Copies of this chain bind each other. A is one copy, B any other.
Amino acid sequence: MKKVAIGIDIGGTNTAIGIVDEVGTVISRGNIPTDRHADIQLYIDDLASEIERVIASVDAELDIQGIGLGAPNGNYYKGTIEFAPNLRWKGVVHLTDLLAEKFPYPIIKLTNDANAAALGESIYGCAKGMRNYIMITLGTGLGSGIVINGDLVYGHDGFAGELGHVRVVDNGRECGCGRLGCLETYCSATGLVRTAYELLGTSNKPSALREVVNQEKLTSKLVYKYAIEGDELAIECFRFTAEMLGKALADFATFSSPEAFILFGGLANAGDLLLKPTKEYMEANMLEIFKNKIRVMPSELPGADAAVLGASSLVWNELNK
């Protein structure tokens, strides 16, 4: 019998399912559209069928330890998704209770996607053996998972670790949360594009972006493409993003003095365009006592499976407690 965990990543449009072994191999995969049903019970029915199909598709005896789920606004303590703006189910959804009616596993645990990614890093990735680190996920928004003394920080209500909504500019950019100047309005795929628009307005630098912006949708990938081709304005977009992120990381260091910041997601793959200047701005703004102590490193979770791996790691983490 092969010991495995089921990892489920619930995104706004797609729900990905994976059966994962103890070393992080995804043995089988499945998925369903998240947004097909406004009725949560119908969604759970679909999800359960797909989980059963994925289990049946494996040509070996499985010893399933449990289910780990990552979802926006997921609450670890209550197993709920609460007021998630990008999901169709409104209010509070008791997700783990609903799944427990379908599956007999003793472990069915939920947390938000960034927390799941942080755990995944400690079990399958570059944070093995680290007891204090902060995961920063740079996707459409900016998520975070904070590990202190070997444990994820959930806070008194289960919602801790929302570093994307630390205000880095007073009266700064409008954020989807209704507030101004949040970190994720600068440091995320969306933030990078907003920076590009700002620079197209404020600077007179010639740039390939000036041509393409009227022909196609301006995306972070496009800014990246021109930056590696040497376009100065596109490079400046990354430099500014790195400045905002590096300064924020220096501030975060004063809180929990982590061993490392681990960057995850599309932007984190921009390598020297982002990581190197982020590290430089972080050090330049760091309180003396923390200088040259804290690493900034890219995630080692394999991109396509990262979310499912992160979710599945919730199960191993419960077993290791």
Contacts and interface: CB of A to CB of B under 8 A. Distances in A.
Interface residues of A, number: 44
B165 A254 contact: yes
A293 B83 CA distance: 16
A162 interface: yes
Interface in A158-182: 158-163, 165-167, 169-170, 177-179
A217 interface: no
Interface stretch (A191-199, A203-211, A283-291): A283-291
Contacts of A50: none
B83 A178 contact: no
Interface string A142-171: 000010110101111111111101110110
Given A131-B156, A156-B131, A169-B170, A255 B289 contact: no
Nearest to A252: B255
From DSSP, what is the main secondary structure of chain A's interface residues?
loop
Given A132-B155, A169-B170, A160 B255 contact: yes
Contacts of A179: 285, 287
A231 to B, nearest CB: 27
Interface string A247-263: 10011101111110000
Nearest to A131: B156
A287 B252 CA distance: 17
B163 A254 contact: yes
Nearest to A82: B289
A278 interface: no
Interface in A233-279: 247, 250-252, 254-259
Given A148-B153, A161-B257, A162-B289, 4 more contacts: A155-B256, A157-B290, A162-B290, A178-B288
21 contacts: A83-B288, A132-B155, A146-B256, A149-B151, A155-B256, A155-B257, A155-B258, A156-B257, A156-B258, A158-B257, A159-B289, A160-B255, A162-B289, A163-B254, A163-B255, A166-B254, A167-B247, A167-B251, A169-B170, A252-B255, A255-B256
